[in-house]
A and B are shown apart, each in its own frame.
Chain A
Amino acid sequence: MSLRIESESQSFVLLRLGERRFALAAKHIVELVAPSRVFRFPHQTPEIEGVILRRGRIVPVCDVAERLIGKSLKSRRLYLIALRRYAGQAEWIALPVTGECELITAEMSPASDADSPHVAGWLSHAGDVIEVLNLDGLTPGPTDVAAPVAPLETEEARP
């Protein structure tokens, strides 16, 4: 009897940050949009630069380049809007990217214990080995969030 390991192909979106390419599972992608005005206001979450307005939603912009390639992006061509999961819900987050994105189908090798928390796995494409990103480990989240002053009942609170 032989043990057969099933592997399934999945869809990924390849994104470019500077000279490097990364991948995100396509099921986590909402859309790719042209850069729009970033609204900034005081806060203390350094990874977040501000917010953009998209389809009536206020979407935080998180520059992941500093963490992934060691420098901030100088030129931005697009925002990749992705779903970031939090306990019990998901929210949109905008990732600035420098190049066109590409949809591919590939098999992902899962991350090992030695990989960083932001790595969901690895895939091989066109001769490159590409990191598949885990947004939960890459973008800030409420692990250290204190209780809000006046808890809002829903994500979209009405006054």
Chain B
Amino acid sequence: MRPAPLAKQPAARTEQIILFRVSGQLFAVSSASVQEVRSVDSLGGATTELSQPGLRKVRHVLRRGGELVYVINGAMHFGLPAAPVALIFVLRRTRTALLIDGIEKMTTMSRLQALPKAFCHAERQWYRGLTALEQSVVPVVAPAGFLTEEELDLLDAALAPDEAAEPGASEEAEWTQ
């Protein structure tokens, strides 16, 4: 009599993530959400300065193709102390780019735990959830959580049509926070 074949274990689903730091704090983002990583030094002439008093975390806008991409100061968004930034993530399927200190490493997560319900304020928009990596806990950011639709409308309205049409208006983009 032959033993019954062992049931196949479903392969664990994993997701490639990038660990990065903002103001020294570690975060993760799905690598599939990052369209491009650039040095802030390479962006000097490609940005337009923007002043929207209600949204101090957005000081610059990039033009990519026909679309305006708002540059988020990660430290201000998360309420962290200011720190020098070196890189920028252009986030896929959003109109946002994120200023970061730097990339820690790329790795894989096999489990994403929903943010506990005790967290009940803006962080629910900020994060997809939490993941445990090497006996540490890292928040996984939601790319769409950096700007709400209302904030995008506010920023679009703040850009005068002539400014929006002229990339590179700000030659001296100041990237330190």
Contact = CB atoms under 8 A, between A and B. Distances in A.
B28 to A, nearest CB: 10
Interface in A6-45: 39, 41-45
A53 B120 contact: no
A66 interface: no
A3 interface: no
A53 B132 contact: yes
B79 interface: yes
Contacts, number: 113
A158 B139 contact: no
Contacts of A155: 113-114
Chain B at the A interface: SS class: mixed
Nearest to A158: B13
Given A146-B124, A156-B111, A157-B112, A39 B136 contact: yes
Interface in B39-91: 78-80
Contacts of B126: 42-43
A118 to B, nearest CB: 14
A126 interface: no
A53 B119 CA distance: 16
Nearest to B15: A159
B137 A41 contact: yes
Contacts of A148: 115, 124-125, 142
Given A53-B132, A150-B128, A158-B112, A45 B144 contact: no
Contacts of B125: 146, 148-149
What interface size band does chain B fall in?
A: 35 or more
B170 to A, nearest CB: 28
Contacts of B115: 148
B118 A60 contact: yes
A64 B30 CA distance: 34
Given A39-B136, A146-B124, 15 more contacts: A41-B25, A43-B123, A44-B121, A45-B119, A51-B130, A58-B130, A60-B119, A91-B118, A142-B117, A146-B125, A149-B125, A154-B114, A156-B111, A156-B113, A157-B114
Interface of A: 39, 41-45, 47-48, 51, 53, 56-60, 62, 84, 86, 91, 93, 139-146, 148-150, 152, 154-159
6 contacts: A42-B25, A93-B116, A142-B120, A148-B142, A155-B114, A157-B113
Interface of B: 13-15, 25-27, 30, 78-80, 109-126, 128-130, 132, 135-139, 142, 144-145
